[in-house]
């Protein structure tokens, strides 16, 4: 048996065994595009539009990285991944960066051999339920059947929450988000649980969205952000600062509309550094000095991206809440570019 | 030497390198060595790469607290149990659906296979249509069909179909009363076991007597009498120490009793119906492999069509049927891993799914999962081979 397992492990190991060089940025430059792992369709975060182009705030993180590396936000290819597949895809080098509404946890940051480089959405887990069930609080969910996606922090949080509140429940676990929604819609479960942003996004897919609502309780912290492989710090820096630049640009009032003018007229040294007209910020990252300009020009600042994909004027309709800039009382706090 | 001198001078011995036998051995050693080296290279490379990326390895995680729940468990399990326990829970679920699936697929397959050969045009065509439709549609689609067909057709818990306030059917599953064994129940169990042993001896004795004297004995009726009567007597003496836990609607769902979840039902139906269509063809080909002269011979001896099929055709057909039937059993077991698509908590969904995700130890978990399926398949193979040998011996 030991021998057979070894053989099986060896077969699986081929994926890991392929030489993945430590310098991802050289690989990326050599192949001419960023390979980005996204969800299989979560409106607002990563979802193909009618023309088949990927859109969403997770997608735009990858576009920002492409803009920083190549000066062209379209030099990115997307790999749709299920929650179950995502880490293996990143570990084995199938994707260069994973930007797939993924929660930053200690285990994932360490034992999985991954590095989280920042947070592009602060979220929390909630429960969705039919209005006609007459339930107004998650503490009254004793005995409920709960539909959930496999391989998520959601699955564990739910177990913790019900155990802590001494309630029973029946988990119904699906591999694909669409299957979870379909089963909930068919009435297999009383409750559908995932991140609150996910609930808002998936509600659009239900037969009668107005017949459902999200319970007030938020049972967990879900800081979602892009992930890279552990041990390649230069690539990690590129992704981290691409994300920070988007938030910093919003704080400085730079957006895709005014960035060209600001590049000519700006006098504030901090703004000039972000725009690459002063200092060598690009060079120390191993990029061109116009890296941040390209991000802001082609992708936009964080506020623009948020408003376009998940903001109150979209079908998702999420207020900024904790994702507001720190200057407006939110949690988005960009590290200084200097 | 003495022998060769009689024949003549021995042929000139080929040089070491030109001896075909030695060459063959050398090449085999080279190829085997190459494969082993390749294997070592891959395993070593994997370990080095995983080490350098800080991915944890080893089997320690099996003892750690799992922290997630499982929808259907045959043995006690909760969030505080270990990954090892979760592994056994999911393994049992896989074995359960495979066993039930094999049982129904065999019965349905034999019925359809025999119907396919029926002289009745309608029956034969119905069987043919069934086989051709079912075996040509991908299994995953059929699983989805049954799952959503089952789900859509059933009412919500509050509008359940019910039978005598005891059995309830809704889209959360079939709820039935659960027996609770109280002190003294073991007497009934023991009397049943005694009855079982007695039946075996009676059957043997009846067979020997029939072979010796030709006299028939009503083994079936006597067996049923013993198997029902003995436990019933024991029950009378002990006062039937058995009570039932009835399911009742509390809050969202029915609580108490036993539940048959719709995922299990849908998966069992899909696997059985699909595999049965292949088994039907196996059975048909097996029966057709028996020469028609056998049927005619049985007819000329005065056997009616029923006994002809049962006593003459099928025993001979079985020898042809069993090897391909084994393949179908193996297929069914392996196909049960599609359970992950409809949330049936089998080995792939729970262990190679949730556990893999939470520990991140893909190499170890996939290796264990593969080893488990390999073991199950080899065991089924071994059992079927044993049965095949037994059937083959019947031929004189």
B238 touches chain A (CB under 8 A): no
Q: Which of A193, A105, A2, A77 is nearest to B359 (CA)?
A: A105
Inspect the interface and report whether the beta carbons of A183 and B151 lie closer than 8 Å.
Answer: yes
B266 touches chain A (CB under 8 A): no
| Domain-located, residue A228 | yes
- pTM listed for this prediction: 0.80
Where in the sequence is the domain holding B297, given as residue range(s)?
Answer: 83-177+246-394
- B315 with B394: CB under 8 angstroms? yes
CA gap B89, B351 in Å, rounded:
9
Inspect the interface and report whether the beta carbons of A172 and B340 lie closer than 8 Å.
Answer: no
B353 touches chain A (CB under 8 A): yes
Claim to verify: residue A133 and residue A110 sit in the same structural domain: no
Q: Which three-class secondary structure state does DSSP give residue B172?
A: coil
Nearest to A156 among B68, B263, B367 (CB): B68
Specify the higher pLDDT residue, B181 or A302: A302
Contacts of B52 in chain A (CB under 8 A): 231
Claim to verify: residue A97 and residue A29 sit in the same structural domain: yes
For B364, the closest chain A residue by CA position comes to A9
| Domain-located, residue B358 | yes
Claim to verify: residue A82 and residue A151 sit in the same structural domain: no
CA gap B63, A260 in Å, rounded:
59
| Domain-located, residue B202 | no
Q: Note the pLDDT of residue A120.
A: 93
B260 touches chain A (CB under 8 A): no
Best A2, A108, A170 member to test B by mutation, with max B CBs in 10 Å, is A170
A112 touches chain B (CB under 8 A): yes
What would the pLDDT profile of B310-358 be if each residue is shown by its tens digit?
A: 888 888 888 889 889 999 999 999 999 998 888 899 999 999 888 888 8
For A110, the closest chain B residue by CA position comes to B54
Best A6, A16, A184 member to test B by mutation, with max B CBs in 10 Å, is A16
- Kindly give the confidence (pLDDT) of every residue in chain A, 338 residues in length, as a single tens digit, with 9 standing for 90 and above: 444 444 444 444 544 544 444 688 999 999 999 999 999 888 899 999 889 899 999 999 999 999 999 999 999 999 999 888 888 899 888 999 999 999 999 988 988 889 999 999 999 999 999 998 888 888 888 888 899 988 788 888 998 899 889 888 888 998 888 888 988 988 888 999 999 988 988 888 888 888 998 998 899 999 999 999 988 899 999 999 999 999 999 999 999 999 999 988 888 988 998 888 888 888 889 998 899 999 999 999 999 999 999 999 988 888 898 999 999 999 999 999 88
Please, is A16 exposed, middle or buried when counting C-beta atoms within 10 Å of its C-beta (0-12, 13-18, 19+)? Answer: buried
B337 touches chain A (CB under 8 A): no
CATH number at residue B265: 1.10.3720.10
Confidence bin at B14 (pLDDT 50/70/90): low
Nearest to B71 among A4, A144, A171 (CB): A171
CATH number at residue A238: 3.40.190.10
| Domain-located, residue B334 | yes
Q: Note the pLDDT of residue A17.
A: 46
Last residue of a domain, one of A203, A220, A237: A220
Nearest to B343 among A155, A163, A173 (CB): A173
Where in the sequence is the domain holding A263, given as residue range(s)?
Answer: 19-122+224-328
Contacts of B338 in chain A (CB under 8 A): none
CA gap A26, A251 in Å, rounded:
31
Strand arrangement of the beta sheet that strand B161-163 belongs to: B161-163, B167-170, B173-176, B258-260
Residue B165: DSSP 8-state:
T
Claim to verify: residue A264 and residue A206 sit in the same structural domain: no
Distance from CA of B211 to the nearest CA of A (A): 46
Distance from CA of B151 to the nearest CA of A (A): 7
Contacts of B141 in chain A (CB under 8 A): none
> What CA–CA distances, in Å, run from A198 to A174, A307, B123?
15, 16, 52
Claim to verify: residue A113 and residue A228 sit in the same structural domain: yes
For B36, the closest chain A residue by CA position comes to A7
Specify the higher pLDDT residue, B132 or A111: B132
Claim to verify: residue A93 and residue A48 sit in the same structural domain: yes
Domain count, chain A: 2
Claim to verify: residue A92 and residue A33 sit in the same structural domain: yes
| Domain-located, residue A336 | no
Claim to verify: residue A207 and residue A80 sit in the same structural domain: no
- B261 with B171: CB under 8 angstroms? no
CA gap B258, B246 in Å, rounded:
8
A141 touches chain B (CB under 8 A): yes
| Domain-located, residue B194 | no
Q: Note the pLDDT of residue B394.
A: 57
Which residues between 188 and 207 in chain A have a beta carbon less than 8 angstroms from any beta carbon of chain B? 188, 190
Complex ipTM value: 0.77
Q: Which of A143, A248, A157, A246 is nearest to A198 (CA)?
A: A157
Claim to verify: residue A91 and residue A113 sit in the same structural domain: yes
Domain count, chain B: 1
Claim to verify: residue A229 and residue A209 sit in the same structural domain: no
Contacts of A23 in chain B (CB under 8 A): none
A164 touches chain B (CB under 8 A): no
């Amino acid at each position: 048996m030991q021998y057979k397992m070894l053989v099986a492990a060896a077969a699986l190991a081929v994926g890991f065994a392929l030489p993945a060089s430590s310098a991802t940025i050289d690989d990326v430059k050599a192949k001419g595009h960023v390979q980005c792992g996204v969800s299989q369709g979560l409106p607002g975060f990563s979802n193909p539009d009618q023309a088949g182009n990927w859109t969403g705030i997770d997608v735009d993180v990858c576009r920002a990285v492409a803009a920083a590396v190549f000066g062209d936000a379209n030099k990115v290819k997307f790999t749709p991944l299920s929650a179950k597949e995502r880490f293996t895809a990143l570990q084995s080098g199938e994707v260069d960066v994973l930007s797939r509404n993924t929660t930053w946890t200690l285990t994932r940051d360490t034992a999985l051999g991954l590095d989280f480089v920042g947070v592009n959405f602060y979220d929390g887990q909630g429960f969705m339920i039919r209005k006609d069930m007459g339930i107004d609080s998650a503490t009254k969910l004793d005995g409920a059947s709960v539909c959930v996606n496999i391989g998520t922090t959601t699955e564990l949080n739910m177990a913790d929450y019900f155990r802590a509140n001494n309630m029973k429940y029946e988990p119904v676990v699906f591999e694909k988000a669409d299957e979870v929604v379909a089963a909930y819609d068919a009435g297999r479960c009383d409750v559908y649980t995932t991140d609150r942003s996910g609930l808002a996004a998936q509600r659009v897919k239900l037969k009668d969205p107005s017949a459902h609502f999200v319970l007030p309780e938020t049972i967990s912290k879900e800081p979602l952000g892009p992930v890279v492989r552990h041990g390649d710090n230069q690539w990690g820096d590129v992704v981290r600062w691409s994300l920070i630049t988007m938030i910093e640009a919003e704080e400085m009032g730079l957006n895709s509309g005014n960035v060209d003018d600001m590049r000519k007229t700006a006098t504030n040294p901090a703004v000039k550094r972000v725009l690459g007209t002063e200092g060598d910020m690009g060079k120390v990252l191993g990029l061109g000095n116009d890296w941040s300009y390209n991000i802001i020009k082609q992708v936009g600042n964080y506020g623009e991206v948020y408003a376009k994909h998940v903001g109150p004027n979209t079908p998702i309709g999420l207020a900024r809440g904790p994702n507001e800039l720190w200057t407006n009382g939110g949690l988005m706090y960009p590290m200084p570019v200097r | 030497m003495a022998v060769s001198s009689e024949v003549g001078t021995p042929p000139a011995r080929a040089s070491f390198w030109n001896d075909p036998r030695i060459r063959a051995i050398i090449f085999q050693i080279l190829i085997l060595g190459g494969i082993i080296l390749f294997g070592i290279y891959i395993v070593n490379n994997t370990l080095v790469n995983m080490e350098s990326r800080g991915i944890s390895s080893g089997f320690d995680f099996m003892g750690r607290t799992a922290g997630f729940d499982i929808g259907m468990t045959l043995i006690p399990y909760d969030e505080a149990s270990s990954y090892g326990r979760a592994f056994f829970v999911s393994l049992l679920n896989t074995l359960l659906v495979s066993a039930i699936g094999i049982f129904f697929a065999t019965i349905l397959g034999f019925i359809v296979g025999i119907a396919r050969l029926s002289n009745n045009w309608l029956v034969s065509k119905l069987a043919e249509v069934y086989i051709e439709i079912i075996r040509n549609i991908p299994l995953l689609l059929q699983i989805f069909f049954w799952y959503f067909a089952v789900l859509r057709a059933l009412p919500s818990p509050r509008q359940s179909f019910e039978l005598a306030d005891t059995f309830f059917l809704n889209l959360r599953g079939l709820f039935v009363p659960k027996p609770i064994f109280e002190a003294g129940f073991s007497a009934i169990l023991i009397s049943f076991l005694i009855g079982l042993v007695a039946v075996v001896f009676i059957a043997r004795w009846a067979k020997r007597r029939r072979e010796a004297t030709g006299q028939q004995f009503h083994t079936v009726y006597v067996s049923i009498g013993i198997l029902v009567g003995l436990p019933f007597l024991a029950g009378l003496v002990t006062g039937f120490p058995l009570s039932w836990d009835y399911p009742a609607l509390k809050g969202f769902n029915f609580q108490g009793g036993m539940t048959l979840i719709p995922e299990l039902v849908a998966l069992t139906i899909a696997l059985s119906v699909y595999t049965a269509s292949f088994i039907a063809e196996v059975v048909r080909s097996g029966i057709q492999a028996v020469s028609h002269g056998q049927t005619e011979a049985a007819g000329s001896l005065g056997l009616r069509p029923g006994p002809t099929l049962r006593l003459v055709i099928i025993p001979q057909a079985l020898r042809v049927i069993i090897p391909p039937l084994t393949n179908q059993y193996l297929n069914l077991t392996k196909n049960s891993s599609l359970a992950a698509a409809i949330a049936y908590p089998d080995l792939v969904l729970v262990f190679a799914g949730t556990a893999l995700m939470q520990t991140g130890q893909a190499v170890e978990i996939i290796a264990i999962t593969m080893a488990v399926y390999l073991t199950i398949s080899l065991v089924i193979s071994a059992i079927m081979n044993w049965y095949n040998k037994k059937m083959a011996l019947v031929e004189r």
